Amino acid sequence: MSPEKIIAARTGRECVYLPSNRLGLYLALRHWCTPGQRLLMSPISADEILFLVLAAGLVPVIAPVSVLDGNIEVARTLLAAVDAVLTTNLYGLPDDVLALSGTVLIEDVAHAAETSVNGRPLGTFGVAGVFSLSKHAGAGSGGVLAVESAADRRVLERERDLLLQPGALRRDLLGVATSALRHLALKFDMARPAMRLARALGLQEQREGYRIALRPEELRAALARAPGLPALDAWVQADLHDYRAARGGVARWYQGRRFARLPRERARRLAGVARLAELPTVAGGVPHHLDQPLFRVPLLVADRDQAIAQLARRGVPTGYLYDPPYDDYAEPFVEPSPDRETARWWARHVLPVDPLYAHRALPVVESLRPAPPPPGDHLLDRAA
């Protein structure tokens, strides 16, 4: 079954297939928002998300985050001052979608493909839910945009087709082979040599400080040509240069096959979440969601860099670490949060652990020291 049909069955929504989650987010932002409008968003997410918002011509309004889960803390935001909201559902922990009902809500469900709230899947609370096929499913690429009406689906399909670039069977085969080899390396505890090989082959892009160099003057020039995605391709395409390339039958078959496996992994993922939730370093929001097969279990630790190195030696790669908050990274291009310190603390100390490989990680993470207390007595009170 195709990935969009699987997600349509889960959500009960009309679904649009995409070559990437990134393209889906951009399409949703352009479809439901007007250039110049103010979009509330978390300061902690992948760098390219910020550039998608800018490419859509929107003003990123950076929200305060909760010390419990790193998501938007709705109680400290003025929803009446923004036109729309973009959730993150960081590591699969759900944003407070019930409190955000009544807003133009766009859900980034990349980390939360199997998370639900009150028995209802994420991706069904807002006007649009954007799923990733490269996160939970580990299919290397692909995305699905879930919307309420067939009319919206048809318009979004036309807009998608205008932005698509030509695909290539060779590229699809390489992507499928790379993803399959990555899964085999993890399964047979060969992640460490696989990581070394990826670096040797140049498959991991070099960083200069932040994952995506801001290049402010170039960015201002590009924004003068926005709204429009191609103007910001140089920023959005980091680590996925073919994010707009059409995918053929081989890639889509593989993506559907990978996504269909998720229910079979659910029990193992839940068991890993439960085990990691027993640690004193676990983020405060995790114990409230032990029934959710999280994408990653966030721990908050004192010596994160040392822990990452120790995990790598045990063949447990640590990904999905995000750069310092958007309002530190790109302050001239956003409206800063009224509280930057919590986001800085979270981004500095979070260690996301894949619950599927909790058994390999535990010998390292069981002995880690908790992060120092979050800044501010009021934050401590909320965490209690």
User: Which pair of structure tokens corresponds to residue 280?
Assistant: 């004193």
Quick check: is 316 in a domain? yes
DSSP bridge partners of 352: 298
Quick check: is 87 in a domain? no
Quick check: is 304 in a domain? yes
Quick check: is 344 in a domain? yes
In total, how many domains does the chain have?
1
Burial of 162 (0-12, 13-18, 19+ CB in 10 A): exposed
pLDDT in tens, 39-98: 999 999 999 999 999 999 999 999 999 999 999 999 999 999 999 999 999 999 999 999
User: Which pair of structure tokens corresponds to residue 151?
Assistant: 């009319």
- pLDDT at position 194: 57
Quick check: is 347 in a domain? yes
Quick check: is 107 in a domain? no
Contact (CB, 8 A) for 270 and 357: no
Q: Indicate the angle between helix axes 304-313 and 191-200, nearest 10 degrees.
A: 100
- pLDDT at position 187: 65
The H-assigned helical ranges of the chain are: 3-11, 21-32, 47-55, 150-163, 169-187, 191-200, 216-223, 233-236, 249-260, 262-276, 304-313, 326-329, 341-349, 358-365, 377-383
User: Consecutive 10-residue runs of the chain (384 residues): their mean pLDDT?
Assistant: 94 97 98 98 96 98 97 96 98 97 96 96 98 91 96 98 92 81 68 56 49 93 95 93 93 92 95 98 98 98 93 86 92 96 96 95 96 72 42
Instruction: For residues 73 and 312, give the distance between their C-alpha atoms in angstroms, rounded to a whole number.
Output: 33
Quick check: is 19 in a domain? no
Instruction: For residues 19 and 143, give the distance between their C-alpha atoms in angstroms, rounded to a whole number.
Output: 6
* CATH, residue 339: 3.90.1150.10
Give me the domain span that covers residue 291: 263-383
- pLDDT at position 382: 43
Instruction: For residues 138 and 262, give the distance between their C-alpha atoms in angstroms, rounded to a whole number.
Output: 10
- Write the single-letter amino acid at 104: V
- pLDDT at position 90: 98
- pLDDT at position 180: 75
Quick check: is 249 in a domain? no
Instruction: For residues 266 and 16, give the distance between their C-alpha atoms in angstroms, rounded to a whole number.
Output: 25
- pLDDT at position 348: 94
Q: Which residue do the tokens 């689906």 mark?
A: 153
- pLDDT at position 380: 44
- Write the single-letter amino acid at 87: T
